[in-house]
Each structure stands twice: as C-alpha cells, then as structure tokens.
Structure 1
Amino acid sequence: MNAVGIDEDAVTGWIASLGVGAVAPLTFERIGNGQSNLTYAVRDSGGARWVLRRPPLGKLLSSAHDVVREHRILSALQGSSVPVPKVLGLTEDPAITDAPLVLMSYVDGVVVDSVNTAESLTVDQRRAVGLALPRTLVRIHDVDLDDAGLTDLASHKPYAPRQLDRWSAQWEKSRTRDVPEVDELATVLARNVPEQSEVTLVHGDFHLNNVIVDPAEGKVLSVLDWELCTLGDPLADVGALLAYWPEAGDSVAGPFMASTLEGFPTRGELVAAYAAKSGRDVSAVGYWHVLALWKLTIIAEGVLRRIVDDPRNRAGSGGPTEKLIDGIVRRALDTAEAEGLS
C-alpha cells in the first residue's frame, strides 16, 4: 500500500538518481506527530534510512509549508554550530511529485514527542534534555547571517508587528468558527509591543517535539521543522519554547504533556538557562510567551481546518480539537494577565 502523498515508484527513481547509495526497493512510512508538513521515513533493502518532507495535502495558504524555503535554510546551516540533518536533495519535478520534496539524512536519536517516550527517560535525563534546549537556541540566535547567506531571508523590520499582521491574516483565512478571544489577544499584544534591539535567525517553532536528542548525553543532535524560520527578535523563540512547555501545576496544560513529568526543568529554569548562556536581557520574555500561545492557537485552528478539508492530513496521534484550542486560548489569557498585559 502506497504512502499517502507519495508516488513511490517515481520518488524511488529520484532518490536512486541522487547518488546516496539507496538500494531498491524503497519503503515509505509516514512518521512523527507533526500536523503541518508531512514527514516520511524512507528505508532501502539494505537497511539504510533517510527522511523525506513534503507540504500537506489539499489547498494551502500562500507562503505556508514552504519546504523549498526550508531546504534553503537547512542548506545554509550545513557545517554551522547548529545541529541539523544533512540535506541530500530537492525536487519540484511534476513527473515525480505534485508538491516539492526534500530528502535529508536520518539522525539516530530520540524525539520526546509523547509522555510514554518521556517516561522511558530517567529523571536526570529529562532535566539534562530540557536544559539542552535553551542552550541550542543560543546557537541558532548566534548564527552570523552574512556568513550563512541568510541576511535576506526575511524583513529586518520589528518582529512583533510583523507577526501580528501575518498571523491575524492567517486566522481570518483558516478559522473554522468565531473565537473572540483571539482578536482580543491580538489587540492586547499590539498595545504592548516591546522594543527590539537586535535581529537574529529565529527558528519559529522550537520545542521538545522538534528536536532529536541523545538522552544519555543530554544533548540536542538535530533541530527539525524549519518551515517557520525567519529573522526577528530572539526572545520570540524563548517564548515559543515556554508556550509548548506545560508544567504539572498548570490549570490548562495544552497539547504537549511530556514536560509535566518529574525531572524536566520549569519554564523559569529554561529562561534562566537561556539568559546565562546568551547574556541577553530576557525581561520581555513574558510578552513573547503570550504571543506564542496566541500564535499556537491560530496554528492549531489551521491544522483543524486542513484535517476537516482533507482527512488524509491527520497525523497518527490524531489532531487538535476545539476543546484543546479553547484551552490554549485560556492559557494565553491567563498568561497575559499574569504578565500585566492589558
């Protein structure tokens, strides 16, 4: 049975032409809990493995899920201090695929994308893995844009207003219902934009599910899912990490529960680790935490919309529900209140 979204014969021929040593026949299996770009494990008859990425199926919003752009970013980071997979190929040939495909190396490690996986780690390993994330963010934010050829990746104008404009537009295009709190939060965020002092590479979707780790060493082996990468305020990535990092005492935990287990650092400890490693002023991180929760709400609603429009986009773990999305909105409102944003 063919993997949905892949013409296995045509793609096998393309991979064979890349000179990566693939021995036919190849098998393709949808992997990961990602609800955006689709990811497949590719295996050949000799046991070698690769990873293949393509955009979601069906109608897409303009500029979303751009794997060609993701290919550019990963290519630019090859050989840098940022751990990323090796990029092996890109095709947009309509004889092979109906959407761009990117082939990259397989990185052997652990993705802590479920409570079950997190439970397989020791308490000490959970803490080490958690603290490795903000240290890896510092590597991303220290990339020299000129050396990497990424100075023109995106606008250098203040990042928060750009994000508010972009994601408000995405909300209007992808929402399945009225959620007045989303508009309310946008207004609050627009009134409280912090001053931006630098422009760095920003991953845009950095969290525990989007890294491959070595628990024994407590290190990040590879950072994945660069489709939302841009240029902007580095604290935006710290805020996103917090948004995807529920704690056991949260009234509304959100979709990713692994970090609620014993051993994982608190959100405060993540911020402190980032500040210590980067030397940056993190006093505005609360604003970026709220913005990230607001953005997460819109992303989750967009995923729900794509699943409604084309059920083949549903990941193995299912997908977001209206109840879950409403819970994220509640967390955003509560966090805004706690941070004194009004």
Structure 2
Amino acid sequence: MDVAAIDKNHPSPKWIASLRKRFPCEKEMDRIFTRKLQRRNGPSYSPVSLETLCASLHSLLANELKDTFEVRDAKWLSGGASKLQVAFKLDWNQPGVGRTITPMVIRMEPAESIVETSRLREFQVIRAVGEILPVPPVYWIDQDGTHFPYPAIIYGFAEGVAKPSGVVSNVTGLGTNFGPEVRKVLAKQYVEHLAKLHTWDWRKADLSSLDVPALGTDAISMHLNWWERIWEEDSNRDIPLMRLAAIWLRDNMPTVDRLSLVHGDFRAGNFLYTEHDDRITAWLDWELAYLGDFHYDVAFTTLPYFSHYSEDGSTLLASGMMPVQALYEAFEKASGLTIDQKTIDYYHIFQSYRTAVIVIASGYRPARNGKTHQDLLLTWVMGLGYPVLAYLRDKLEEVG
C-alpha cells in the first residue's frame, strides 16, 4: 500500500484491513480499534448536554430496572483526559437492600479518545477485582451505545481525593506530593494492593473480554502489536526513534513465566483516599488492564516522569510513594514474586514507547479532528512526549 496515499483522517476499509493483518491484537481490542477507525469518517464531537445524558440514563434504567426510580442531582465531574463523567444520585429499589439513594457516576466515551478502550473490559475487570481491592461498584454497561450517544458504564461514586487538599499538581497526577506523613501510610497500602492484584487468581473471574495469551513471549508480542497499531493509526509524522524502539522491543522480549492481571496505569492520580484516615478507597481507570507480566505495572509505577524528589532534594520517590529500590523490595516481600531488573529495564522502554504513542500520536489525532471534549488538554499533553522520547533514547543507549 502506498504510504503517502494513506489519509488517516479518512481511513479506507483496505487500510484498516491491512492494519488488522499486520498487528493482530486481542479480539476485543481489535474490535475497539477497528470501530475507532470506522467512526473516524463520521461527525466530529459535539457537546452533549446534561439533559441528553440524563435522558439516556433514564432509557438504560427503564430497560434494566423493574421498579420505579428517580435520578437526582446530576452534575458534571471534572478531571480525566479521555472520558466524559457525570455524577448523580439514584433513588431506587436496590436488590438485597431495598429502597435507597445511591451516588453513581456515568462514564462515557467521546467520539474518539486519547486512549481508545473497551467499556466491556473495564466493566468486567472492575467487577472482578472488587473481591481483592477497593474499587467502585459497577452496575450497568451500555456496551454499544444503545442508550447513550457513545458506549458507557454506570458505577458507584467513590469517596476520597486523588491528592491532598490545597496541593497543586500537574495533569493526571504527575509529580503529586503527598507529604512525608501521608506518604508513609499510603505507600504501604499502594504496594500491598499491587501485590494482591498480581498474585490474585484471575482464572475464577468472568474476564471473557480479555484474551489469555500463551506463556513465553506471546503476552508481550500481542501487547506490543496493540501499541504499534495505534502508532500507525494515529501518528502524524515519522519519528525514527519510535521505529527503532519498536524493533528493539520486538527483538528483546523476555519470557513471561506467569500471567497476572495487569492494571496498566498503576500510579498516583489513579487512586482515591480519604484524608481523615489516609485510607485508599478506590482504584480507578482500569481501561488498560490486560493479562500479562507483573513487571509491566512495577516498571510503570517506577518511571522517573511519575516520580518526584523527597524533602531532602536527592531521593527520588517512585510515583510519589517511596524510593525505587525500596518499592521493589516491599513488593517482593508482599507478593512473594521476584523482580528481574533486566525485565524492568525492558518494560521501562516499553512503557516509554507506549507513553509516547499515547501523548504524541493519540493525543494529536482526536484533537486535530475535533473528536473530543478535551482538545485543549490533549494539545497540551502532546508536549510531554518529548521528555519521554529523551528518556526512551537514554534507556535504549543504556541497555545497548
């Protein structure tokens, strides 16, 4: 296919088919990426009113509930670079509880997102991990946008904050400083929760939207296909370093000898905690979860661009929690798993590649085509890609 003739803003069926062949992904993710490209030829994002979403919610609830209900106090929620969110209260006859008023949240896609993911996968994973980790309860899913303008899920409202009150931090929790006292309490829970996730027996849960890869390198190659495909779909220019990184990642895949449920975005900014007792109350943003190597999450949370220095000015705190080596040791003690530093180095490169794909390619394309409500934020986020590329270059030089 003539690369110069490809119009990524108006993808042809032939080009879409070629991407599916070149980069075989999990079935559910192939469906999501294919749908994204097919919808790209459609209309741009147009603001959805609160009244429209409430009408969609009534349609869904009327289909799901057999009793009377009332939606109260609907309001927009701020935060999040990828999904639209609305908080509301539902007066309903909850099974096993009776008449009650339950705070809930609508989480809906825009026309196109900086991370195009599956609401079904998110719904299933949150429901499954609720037995081991604090997560919001999930209630209903509109998988194909039957009731809502776009696919959506309804989950419970979680109490807590993502950062200390009055603290200013960058977008998505970058560099969040919890302070020494709060940090000490949160860090212990943070590592324990990561260990619980990676040692949990996911086989007993309904995770039908996740493919189960073979041990060896299959779990890595399928996931690398995910991000290489997105780079091809969304990037607006060639960056030789990205091609070099993809080749290196393909040539140096470590063996995966056990499969864990991987969160995919485990870091500060993606959990809530209550300030009166510093207890983590909810882990959020499960949309990037998959079955793979536990090193993936451990490497992600120790990336330097999610870190900051402690009060001594010289100790780097992984995801604002604890020094990197201390985190490795605490994780090994809590999980019984052994961290391989060479594998961590591999996933530091993988995660940097993935981050660059997200912010440089998938940050650009929806904003350029007017497919998102967060076009200004995504344009700003694109600038973060260049420090990430610098780190990626340095890591590739380091490993040789």
* Partner-residue secondary structure (3-state), 1:291: helix
Shift of 1:292: 0.9
Which residue matches 1:35? 81
State the partner residue of 2:201.
144
Aligned residues of 1:5 and 1:57 also touching (Cα < 8 A): no
Greater CA deviation, 90-99 or 153-162? 90-99
Provide closer, same or farther for how the CA distance between residues 110 and 60 of structure 1 changes in structure 2, counting only shifts above 3 A: closer
Cα distance change of structure 1 residues 83 and 191 upon mapping to structure 2, 3 Å threshold: same
Farther-moved stretch of structure 1 (196-205 vs 238-247): 238-247
Aligned position for 1:11: 57
Q: Does the C-alpha gap of structure 1 residues 245 and 215 become closer, same or farther in structure 2, counting only changes over 3 Å?
A: farther
2-structure distance, mates of 1:268, 1:18 = 49
Instruction: Identify if the C-alpha distance between structure 1 residues 129 and 22 changes in structure 2 by more than 3 Å, giving closer, same or farther.
Output: farther
Deviates further, 101-110 or 282-291: 282-291
CA-to-aligned-CA distance 1:260-292 (integer Å, 9 cap, x gap): 89x742233322221221121212222212211
Change (3 A) 1:326 1:275: same
What stretches of structure 2 of length at least 5 have no aligned partner? 1-46, 92-99, 311-315
Aligned to 1:293: 352
In the TM superposition, residue 173 of structure 1 has moved relative to its aligned partner by 0.5
| Distance in structure 2 (CA, Å) of the matches to 1:286 and 1:5 | 49
SS at match of 2:250: helix
What are the equivalent positions in structure 2 for 1:153-192 lying under 5 Å apart?
A: 153-157=210-214, 158=217, 159-192=219-252
Residue in structure 2 matching 1:272, options 326, 329, 354: 329
Distance 1:161 1:141, change over 3 A: same
Q: How many residues align?
A: 327
1:90 to 121, 126, 141: 141
Distance in 2 separating the partners of 1:325 and 1:8: 37
1:110 aligned onto 2:161:
yes
Q: Give the letter aligned to residue 265 of structure 1.
A: M
Using the alignment, how far apart are the partners of 1:169 and 1:196 within structure 2?
Answer: 22
2:118 matched residue in structure 1: 66
- The CA distance in 2 between the partners of 1:225 and 1:31, in whole Å, is 15
Pick one of 126, 149, 152 that aligns with 2:183. 126
Counting only pairs closer than 5 Å after superposition, residues 244-323 of structure 1 correspond to structure 2 as 245-248=306-309, 264-283=321-340, 284-301=343-360, 302-310=362-370, 312-314=372-374, 319-323=379-383
Question: What amino acid is aligned across from residue 38 of structure 1 in structure 2?
Answer: L
**CA RMSD across the alignment:** 3.5
- Distance in 1 (CA, whole Å) between partners of 2:246 and 2:211 is 22
Secondary structure, in 3 states, of the residue corresponding to 1:149? coil
Q: CA 1:152–1:95 in 2, change beyond 3 Å: closer, same or farther?
A: closer
- For residues 123-144 of structure 1, the C-alpha deviation after alignment (integer angstroms, 9 at most, x for no partner) is 2102332343222111111221
Match of 1:253 in 2: none
CA distance in 2, matches of 1:155, 1:260: 30
Contact 1:129 1:215 in 2 (8 A): no
Rounded Cα–Cα distance in structure 1 between residues aligned with 2:330 and 2:69: 42
Q: Deviations over 1:37-78 (max 9, x none)?
A: 3333234699953111122324899xx321122112222233
1:90 Cα deviation from its structure 2 partner: 1.5
- Contact 1:22–1:48 under 8 Å retained in 2: no
Which of these two proteins has the greater Rg computed from alpha carbons? 2
Instruction: Name the amino acid aligned to 2:75.
Output: F
SS at match of 2:287: coil
User: TM-score if structure 1 supplies the norm length?
Assistant: 0.81
Q: Matched residue of 1:89: which SS?
A: strand
Structure 1 stretch displaced more, 222-231 or 105-114: 105-114
Secondary structure of residue in 2 paired with 1:239: helix
2:150 is aligned to 99
- When the two structures are superposed, what TM-score results if normalisation uses the length of structure 2? 0.71
Unaligned runs of 5+ in 1: 250-257
Match of residue 109, structure 2, among 45, 55, 60? 55
Consecutive aligned runs of 4 or more in structure 1 exceeding 6 Å deviation: 44-47, 117-120, 258-261
